[in-house]
Structure 1
Amino acid sequence: MDKIKTTHVGSLPRSNELSDLLFKKDKQEKIDVNNFDEIVKRDVKKIVKKQINLGIDFISDGEMSKISYATYVKDRIDGFSGESERKAPQDLDDFPSFKERIARSGGTPTYTRPCCTHELKIKDALSLTKDINNFKSALEENNHKQAFMNAASPGVISAFLPNKFYKDDDEYLDALSNIMTAEYEEIVSNDINLQLDCPDLALARHMTFKDLTEVEFLKRAEKQIEYLNHSIKKIPSSKIRIHICWGNYEGPHSHDISLEKILPLILKANVGTYLLESSNPRHSHEWQAFENIKVPKDKIIAPGVIDSTTNFIEHPEVVKNRLVQFSKVIDREQLMAGTDCGFSTFAGFGNVDENIVYKKLESLVIGTELASKII
């Protein structure tokens, strides 16, 4: 029997050289574009080789060229300016001493987060083309075909880069879904699977939408899925992955909405694979949600069996046991092994040491091989 496939959520640590350039670019400081392009190309090759050598099946370009998984769109789409209000997660509001400690430690990334202040228009299509070409070149060089590329969902863009121009948030989501369609379709047209990053369906509950009631949030989330489906209507669901998380930070997470409450909604997304936070202490029990909610046969569940916020290296037996637990509620052929979140969702920031990241991914592979023998 084939082994269970392995993957991760996408972002991987950038080199210090690349991170410095990304922050200069984010601050609109002058950089040598050709030099930047060469460094990105070099680092993509390195990151692809590392993943393949570890034995990861579905690999990414590590999001090397992006300042963050969501706000990179401000460099590709015209219509953003100024600076948006930063809302702290509700769980940190409950523990001000801990929130202050995080701020003092420099653990909060500082990067540009503008608002939408005028009509959205594509201003830079070349950056995506460069990313795709860099990734394809590295894949071909290593004769590897199982690959995915991250892209921000309309919902997460609206959460991080709020609307100050369109008449309401629905009109803004509609504009975002229409303009992001080109990026989504170009990725898939190049034989790379599309991963839509959607923390707006979980994290946003206790961050952007913490002032809403739970019922109001669920209505908002359902609307965001409708616009998401509109943006991918021409793409086969088997070519699309979606990542749901409650925030890639170490904290209380005491206001996280439960998977059980959002699962019926997110299963309405026209995608083939779901990557879910499943190993951290706040969500490791939520495999139980699948006891009462049946997953359609054409969908794959990729639970996080590696925590992306701690430097503990999970023992392969722990990885194995987590997959065995999920196999009780998810059919083996619908199961994939993943990580809770990316390891560098913001360039230059990440709780996990770069070398430990790859030891954790190595444990992911070994543990999945162990699980594959007994599930």
Structure 2
Amino acid sequence: MSRFIATTHSGSLPRVEALDRANEERGRLSRDGILPGNAADVDYDRIVAQSVDQVVQQQLDDGIDIVNDGEYGKTVVSNIDAHAWFGYIEQRVSGWQVFDHPQSAEEQVPSTRSALRLSAHGQRRDRIRFHDVYTDPTSGVRITKQTAFPRITGPITYIGQQAVSRDITNLNTALAKHPGVQGFISSISPGSASRIDNVYYATQEELIWAWADALHEEYQAIVDAGLILQIDDPSLAENWDQINPEPSVEDYQEFTRIRIDALNYALRGIPADRVRLHVCWGSWHGPHTTDIPLRDLIDVLFEARVGAYLLEAGNPRHEHEWQVWEDVTLPDDKILVPGVISHCTNVVEHPELVAQRIERFAKLVGPDRVIAGTDCGLGGRVHPHIARAKLRALAQGAHIASERLSQPSRSTLARNQQ
């Protein structure tokens, strides 16, 4: 039978070696002020286009329905390692410089709505609790050492028109070979983008709203191109761990609501059903004992004007939170995209386990309102061969779940036989 539980993933996919080399070289040339316009830049564009075409085909071969460009077009500033996952946006805005040391929490500008402030990354409560683990290179917990720190020193202005246009063109060109297939492109949220140093804007709100203004242009371009916009915002959940000491839930909800308000402003004029929001508790492979429970965050997340939520549901710290949906009602105009495949383990999930995870959510919110996804991006977190095996297990599990969910329940059959 045909499968009706659709599949997707959270964005990042492992890069091919040629693209890794080209991306590293482009980052070096950009930092040296050589780009754009030289031969290496042209060669990079060619490699990215070819790689996107290949990764779209691979996703479809592996059974993924809603695909993306693997985030292959997002060049990062490699010496700002701690920000590598969103470092691409620093190449698409003006108003920032690199410094060799971070600001302290005491140096941060105040907020007009919240007394909470983010601590340094090294002062995360999970890292303090497991200091010996995070500082032991043999522990298996990978934390990249940061060697440079971006800082906002002038007005934030979007200058990434050419870059986002290239992302759009590459993905739409690849999709043109597969009529009817939906594609998405990820973009950072104002809240996550604003988690860098700032000495220009007078308040946190001014900084976040400046990011919202700049990012609106990227959001609009993606949606205008007929693609789904995925907002990546781990900050909504993982900021909790970076506030030390631990705040009250109520104070943190207000702190987070500021970021949701800015996101809604950045999404102005964009239909909610063209937007999905990816929220996670950070992608690092660590204990995560200080993660905020989903139950304490979900009502604030519902305030975002988006059509779908991608939430972690497959890793050992958050899988149990499927039970939240026994008490929480998913709004009628929303879709749930639970992560039924995790980025935090090299073990490839059995398709039967994937099916069971999907069925839990389908029975609580309705099978027509569930899309099967991944906890977080797989790129850089598992070996490329494991990543593809996980995506195939995702598709196989969705097929099993679709078959079972389409069959009448035993109680229904019994009633019909009476």
TM-score in terms of structure 2 length: 0.84
Q: Describe the superposition over 1:294-317 as per-residue Cα deviations: whole angstroms up to 9, x where unpaired.
A: 111110001000011211000000
Alignment partner of 1:141 is 2:177: yes
Counterpart for residue 24 of structure 2: 23
Counterpart for residue 60 of structure 2: 52
In the TM superposition, what is the alpha-carbon distance from 1:245 to its structure 2 partner?
Answer: 0.3
Q: Which region of structure 1 is more displaced relative to structure 2, 352-361 or 320-329?
A: 320-329
Q: How does 1:294-309 map to 2 (within 5 A)?
A: 294-309=329-344
**8 Å Cα contact 2:273/2:307 also seen in 1:** yes
The match for 2:121 among 62, 87, 90 is 87
> 1:287 & 1:106 partners in 2: Cα distance?
26
> 2:139 & 2:20 partners in 1: Cα distance?
21
- CA shift in 2, pair 1:325/1:223, >3 Å: same
In the TM superposition, what is the alpha-carbon distance from 1:104 to its structure 2 partner?
Answer: 8.4
Alignment partner of 1:328 is 2:344: no
**8 Å Cα contact 2:141/2:286 also seen in 1:** no
- CA shift in 2, pair 1:33/1:226, >3 Å: same
In the TM superposition, what is the alpha-carbon distance from 1:122 to its structure 2 partner?
Answer: 2.3
Counterpart for residue 186 of structure 1: 221
**8 Å Cα contact 1:319/1:364 also seen in 2:** yes
Counterpart for residue 154 of structure 2: 118
**8 Å Cα contact 2:3/2:403 also seen in 1:** no
**8 Å Cα contact 2:223/2:229 also seen in 1:** yes
Q: Which runs of 4+ in 1 moved over 6 A?
A: 103-106
**8 Å Cα contact 1:6/1:368 also seen in 2:** yes
Alignment partner of 1:72 is 2:88: yes
Counterpart for residue 9 of structure 1: 10
Q: Describe the superposition over 1:113-163 as per-residue Cα deviations: whole angstroms up to 9, x where unpaired.
A: 41211111123310110111011101102335311100000001012x232
Residue 328 of structure 1 aligns to a residue whose secondary structure is helix
> 1:110 & 1:41 partners in 2: Cα distance?
31
Alignment partner of 1:201 is 2:254: no
> 1:342 & 1:210 partners in 2: Cα distance?
27
**8 Å Cα contact 1:279/1:340 also seen in 2:** yes
- CA shift in 2, pair 1:288/1:182, >3 Å: same
Q: Describe the superposition over 1:16-61 as per-residue Cα deviations: whole angstroms up to 9, x where unpaired.
A: 2322332343341457101111111111111001001112011010
Q: Which region of structure 1 is more displaced relative to structure 2, 181-190 or 116-125?
A: 116-125
- State the AA in 2 paired with 1:252: P
The match for 1:213 among 236, 244, 247 is 247
The match for 2:399 among 344, 369, 372 is 369
Counterpart for residue 50 of structure 2: 42
- CA shift in 2, pair 1:195/1:176, >3 Å: same
> 1:225 & 1:18 partners in 2: Cα distance?
34
Counterpart for residue 166 of structure 1: 201
Q: Which region of structure 1 is more displaced relative to structure 2, 125-134 or 10-19?
A: 10-19
Superposed CA RMSD: 1.9
In the TM superposition, what is the alpha-carbon distance from 1:361 to its structure 2 partner?
Answer: 0.3
Counting matched residue pairs gives 368
Unaligned runs of 5+ in 1: none
> 1:116 & 1:87 partners in 2: Cα distance?
18
In the TM superposition, what is the alpha-carbon distance from 1:179 to its structure 2 partner?
Answer: 1.0
> 2:219 & 2:251 partners in 1: Cα distance?
29
Q: Describe the superposition over 1:240-291 as per-residue Cα deviations: whole angstroms up to 9, x where unpaired.
A: 0000100112211100000000000001101001000011111001011112
Q: Which region of structure 1 is more displaced relative to structure 2, 109-118 or 186-195?
A: 109-118
Q: Describe the superposition over 1:46-80 as per-residue Cα deviations: whole angstroms up to 9, x where unpaired.
A: 10010011120110100002234422111010011
Unaligned runs of 5+ in 2: 77-83, 103-119, 406-418
Q: Describe the superposition over 1:211-245 as per-residue Cα deviations: whole angstroms up to 9, x where unpaired.
A: 46133322110110011001112111110000010
Rg comparison, structure with higher value: 2
- State the AA in 2 paired with 1:50: Q
> 1:143 & 1:297 partners in 2: Cα distance?
29
Counterpart for residue 133 of structure 2: 98
**8 Å Cα contact 1:77/1:121 also seen in 2:** yes
> 2:25 & 2:233 partners in 1: Cα distance?
27
Percent of aligned pairs with the same amino acid: 32
